[in-house]
Amino acid sequence: MIDFLIFLILVAIFLSFIRFVKAPLLLDRVVAFDTMGIIAISLLALLSVTYKSSIYIDVAFVFALIGFIGSITFARFYMVKDDDVRTDDIKDTNG
Amino acid sequence: MGDITLYIGYGFILFGSLFLIIASLGLLRLPDTISRMHAGTKASTLGTLLVLVGVGFMEPTLWFKLLLLALFVLLTNPLSSSILAKSSYIKNGFYSKSNVDDMKDSK
């Protein structure tokens, strides 16, 4: 039974991996990667039931943290327009 | 008694993985970045929460870590989806078949 549930979650990860590969835009890849991270959290929770060890829950914490920080950073630095970037400071220090 | 909680856990995990598959299908099938984001973050949040509740039914000694993980997912996932949607609106514009654009006035 639990093998079947792990298979269902692997199907979900594979479907979002297809979107990750053939994304037309960069943010599609970021969204697909975020979703893959969230699905991997539940896969790791299922693995902790299968192997009777609670260390997989800690690995799931790390996955959640890395996925959150990664998507926030990507979106924040992608959002900045080109004229928002300040170049006067750089010129001042150089000259 | 143990069997009953085990089967309740299996039911929760089955519902959660179905939600995760629906989220991935929406990620594949929907036409636009913001629509894909709508599918890929909301449905996967609910699916992950259901899977964590099911794991908590199957292994009741892990409940504190599972509660912390569920709170973390519930707090951080809408935040990252919101900032991704804002970034997609600013850089790539809006889906042309949609008529409602509330962000235009708030800029």
Contacts of B27 in chain A (CB under 8 A): 15-16, 19, 31-32, 35
Residue written as tokens 């220090």? A93
In angstroms, the CA A47 to CA A51 distance is 6
Chain B closest-CA separation from residue A47 CA (Å): 10
Give the nearest chain A residue to B68 (CA atoms): A61
- Give chain A's domain count: 1
In a domain, A21, yes or no: yes
In a domain, A33, yes or no: yes
In a domain, A62, yes or no: yes
Picking from B101, B102, B99, B92, the residue whose alpha carbon sits closest to that of residue A30 is B92
In a domain, A87, yes or no: no
Q: Does A87 touch chain B (CB under 8 A)?
A: no
Out of A12, A54, A65, name the one closest to residue B20 (CB). A12
Q: Does A59 touch chain B (CB under 8 A)?
A: no
Indicate whether A91 pLDDT > 70: no
Cβ distance B24 to A31 less than 8 Å, yes or no, reads no
In angstroms, the CA B56 to CA B46 distance is 15
Domains in chain B: boundaries: 2-88
pLDDT of residue A75: 87
pLDDT of residue B13: 93
pLDDT in tens, B81-97: 889 888 888 887 776 67
ipTM of the complex as predicted: 0.85
Picking from A38, A12, A68, A48, the residue whose alpha carbon sits closest to that of residue B46 is A38
Query: What are the CB-based long-range contacts (under 8 Å, 24+) for A20-28?
Result: A25/B33, A25/B92, A26/A78, A27/A75, A27/A78, A27/B33, A27/B84, A27/B87, A27/B88, A27/B91, A27/B92, A28/B33, A28/B36
Do residues A41 and A12 touch, judged by C-beta distance below 8 A?
no
pLDDT of residue A14: 94
Section A63-88 average pLDDT: 79
Do residues A36 and B45 touch, judged by C-beta distance below 8 A?
no
Q: Does A75 touch chain B (CB under 8 A)?
A: yes
Cβ distance A45 to B27 less than 8 Å, yes or no, reads no
More confident residue, B104 or A3: A3
In a domain, A31, yes or no: yes
In a domain, A92, yes or no: no
Q: Which residues contact A2 (CB under 8 A, 6 or more apart)?
A: A46, A49, A50, B10
Q: Does A31 touch chain B (CB under 8 A)?
A: yes
pLDDT in tens, A10-24: 999 999 999 999 878
In a domain, A91, yes or no: no
Mapped onto helix, strand or coil, the DSSP state of residue B97 is coil
Chain A closest-CA separation from residue B65 CA (Å): 7
Indicate whether A70 pLDDT > 50: yes
Out of B13, B80, B86, name the one closest to residue A79 (CB). B86
Section B17-33 average pLDDT: 90
pLDDT in tens, B41-78: 889 999 999 999 999 999 888 889 999 999 999 999 98
Test the B interface: residue of A27, A42, A84 with most B CBs within 10 Å:
A42
What's the domain range around A21?
Answer: 15-78
For residue A95, what pLDDT band results from cuts at 50, 70 and 90? very low
